[in-house]
Amino acid sequence: MVNMAEALERLKTLADSPVVQRVATAFADAGRELSLVGGPVRDAMLGVPVHDYDFTTDARPDEILEIVTPLSSAQWDIGREFGTIGARITTGEGQDAVSDTVEITTYRADAYDGETRKPIVAFGDVLDDDLKRRDFTVNAMALRVPDVKLVDPHGGVEDLLDATLRTPSSPEVSFGDDPLRMMRAARFASQLGFLVADEVQDAMQEMAPSIEIVSAERVQTELAKLLCTAAPSGGIRLLVDTGLAEIVLPEVPALRLETDEHHHHKDVYEHSLTVLDQAIGHETKRHPGGEPDLVLRLAALLHDIGKPATRRLEPGGAVSFYHHDVVGSKLAKKRLKALRFDSDTIKSVARLIELHLRFFGYSEGAWTDSAVRRYVRDAGDLLERLHMLTRADVTTRNKRKADRLAFAYDDLEARIDELQEQEQLEAVRPELDGNRIQAVLGIGPGPEIGQAYKWLLDLRLDEGILGEEEATRRLKEWWASSEA
């Protein structure tokens, strides 16, 4: 619960910070208005540390640049057409010097044609008009500086106290202006732990198809921001419940498989959200204070998306999902590519999904050292993420089974650590490289070299370190038998 007196005191502290005072004084001296707006004001009131300084002003971009240039060590105008100028401002001296990045935007009074995602940019002259066009009331508060006056024409303080997301104008108008705001509602609900007002959720459901006019790149960015919040599963639920996920990430609502009175299996949709939550728990435990791991979170959410396509109702009431790991990997690759994720993210998520069942063979029987080496080799630099995903995938309520699986994975990790210490598993390679193979076999470059290298690598994984002399002898024997 927000204490209003403490929130106002935090706003005063924010306004008194050196970087805010320096910028505010410069704009006041130039006869221009200046206000902190949006996220910094909201976060200060909530007691969340403020790292971004977003300002709005009645000055036009050229004048903004003219005012901030003497104060800053660097400026950029990549957002000039939208009225935004960025600058790096240093306060203090010597060891006490601190550099902050600020963004200052001219009041906006945009219009939208309702057919494309792009606004017709128009600059305004009145702060209240600028605030009206913002996404949610809690982001439509401004703090005038340097005189420190809170401007809240749309009841943002009340909604902050109620922990509720509402829109400054009607949600139909707001989402009509920019449909991506519907996804932002899901993100802020997760990020802030707020409820979404009924009328806002109703509008999201009614207007969900309009998200299709938003570019894949913008949808991807918003989805990534949602997944990188502390508790994204609530936002995912909102996207599914309103029908937005059917358009932007249809594989997730597809996890809500129909039940059959004669065949029973766990709720795959609920299981996937639990896995996402548990993966974040493992991530936080292993890397406290670290940056959110988007790859792990995408893999956790999507790890079972191959199940709908592979579900088979077996005799006797059993249900199978054979090869859902392979099918899911392909589906994830296709969806993430459509959302314009970068190739490294796509490749990593798909590989984790493909490998996420591998461990369960270990829990059913002891693996040889060779099998452990292959597990490490196949995971490569995704090994730690695979550890977290596999542990998160255990959602059984049967405590004995959960304890058995946890013990088995503890044992597997211990064996991996032991083998890595002995053999540096992460860099497993045959004792002979391609050039040495050519010399030993007396042949030139060609497919035979690749075949020989793979044979030597399998030998290395099966038997461990052989030494160059033994590897050479075994290679010659293999080559002689393959020529026979």
DSSP letter for each residue of 251-299: TTGGGSPPPBTTB----HHHHHHHHHHHHHHHHHHHSTTPPP-HHHHHH
What confidence category does residue 474 fall into, taking pLDDT thresholds of 50, 70 and 90?
confident
Q: What is the mean pLDDT of residues 418-431?
A: 68
pLDDT, position 260: 47
Say what the pLDDT of residue 335 is.
98
**Span 205-217, mean pLDDT?**
96
Give the separation between CA 101 and CA 86, rounded to whole angstroms.
7
Q: Report pLDDT digits (tens) over 371-386.
A: 888 888 899 999 999 9
pLDDT for position 60? 95
Q: What is the mean pLDDT of residues 76-92?
A: 89
Strands 142-144 and 149-151: antiparallel
Residue 467 pLDDT exceeds 70: yes
- pLDDT for residue 166: 98
Q: Is the peptide bond before 146 cis (omega within 30 degrees of 0)?
A: yes
Mean per-residue pLDDT over the chain, rounded: 89
pLDDT of residue 317: 66
Which pLDDT belongs to residue 258?
55
Rounded percentage of the chain residues whose pLDDT exceeds 90: 62
Mean pLDDT within 245-261: 84
Residue 104 binned pLDDT confidence (cut-offs 50, 70, 90): very high
Residue with tokens 């005191």: 9
The answer to whether 331 and 306 have CB atoms below 8 angstroms apart is yes
- Three-state DSSP class for residue 149: strand
Section 203-220 average pLDDT: 97
* Residues 182, 226: Cα–Cα separation, whole Å: 12
User: Which domains, ranges and CATH numbers included, belong to the chain?
Assistant: 1-162 (3.30.460.10), 169-249 (1.10.110.30), 263-427 (1.10.3210), 434-483 (no CATH)
Is the pLDDT assigned to residue 21 strictly greater than 90?
yes
Q: Which of 115-119, 395-399, 438-442 is least confident?
A: 115-119
Please check the confidence at residue 262 and state whether its pLDDT lies above 50.
no
Looking at the predicted structure, is the pLDDT value of residue 4 above 50?
A: yes
Residue 197, pLDDT above cutoff 90: yes
Cβ-contact 112, 119 below 8 angstroms = yes
pLDDT of residue 422: 67
Find the helix packing angle between 294-302 and 383-392, rounded to 10°. 40
Q: 200: how many CB neighbours lie within 10 A of its CB?
A: 24
Can you tell me the mean pLDDT for 391-415?
Answer: 88
DSSP-H helix ranges across 115-197: 127-132, 156-162, 171-177, 180-192
Instruction: Give the integer Cα–Cα distance in Å for 130 and 209.
Output: 27
| 311 confidence band (pLDDT: 50, 70, 90) | confident
Q: Which of 281-285, 316-320, 420-424 has the lowest mean pLDDT?
A: 420-424
- Confidence at residue 266, expressed as pLDDT on a 0 to 100 scale: 65
Helix (H, G, I), strand (E, B) or coil at 484: coil
Which of these ranges, 131-135, 306-310, 329-333, 441-445, has the smallest mean pLDDT?
441-445
Residue 348 near residue 295, CB atoms below 8 Å: yes
Residues 110-135, mean pLDDT to the nearest whole number? 78
Q: Which residue has the higher pLDDT, 71 or 458?
A: 71
Q: What is the mean pLDDT of residues 229-255?
A: 97
193: CB partners within 8 A, 6+ apart: 163, 231
Q: How far apart are the first and last CA of the chain?
A: 80
Phi and psi of 132, rounded to 5°?
-65, -30
**What tokens were used for 443?**
């042949």
- Under the banding of pLDDT at 50, 70 and 90, the label for residue 169 is very high
Confidence band for 261, pLDDT divided at 50, 70 and 90: very low
Task: pLDDT band for 19, please (50, 70, 90 cuts).
Answer: very high
Separation in Å, CA 184 to CA 8, 198, 211, 215, 286: 26, 16, 12, 15, 29
Say which residues have a Cβ less than 8 Å from residue 198's Cβ, sequence separation at least 6.
Answer: none
Please choose, from the candidates 58, 229, 69, the residue with its C-alpha nearest in 3D space to the C-alpha of residue 142.
58
Element (H, E) at 35: strand 34-37
Dihedral in degrees, nearest 10, Cα atoms 457, 461, 465, 468: -10
Q: Strand, helix or coil at 232? A: coil
State the pLDDT confidence band at 356, using cuts at 50, 70 and 90: very high
Looking at residue 115, its pLDDT comes to 59
**Is the CB of residue 389 less than 8 Å from the CB of residue 302?**
no
Q: What is the DSSP letter of 367?
A: P
C-alpha 285/C-alpha 423 separation (Å) is: 28
pLDDT at 111 over 80: no
**Partners of 149 in beta bridges:** 144
Instruction: Please tell me the predicted confidence (pLDDT) of residue 164.
Output: 97
Report how far residue 262's alpha carbon sits from residue 275's, in angstroms, rounded to the nearest whole number: 26
Cα–Cα distance between 122 and 109 in angstroms, integer?
5
Q: Could you count the other beta carbons within 10 Å of the beta carbon of residue 278?
A: 18
- Three-state DSSP state, 180: helix
Arithmetic mean of pLDDT, 214-226: 97
Report the side by side order of strands in the sheet with 98-106: 72-79, 84-91, 98-106, 53-57, 34-37, 142-144, 149-151
The pLDDT assigned to 321 comes to 84
Place 263 in a pLDDT band, splitting at 50, 70 and 90.
very low
Give pLDDT, residue 442. 84
Does residue 478 have a pLDDT over 80? yes
For residue 114, pLDDT beyond 80: no
Q: Higher-confidence residue: 472 or 115?
A: 472
Antiparallel, parallel or unpaired: β 312-313 and 319-320: antiparallel
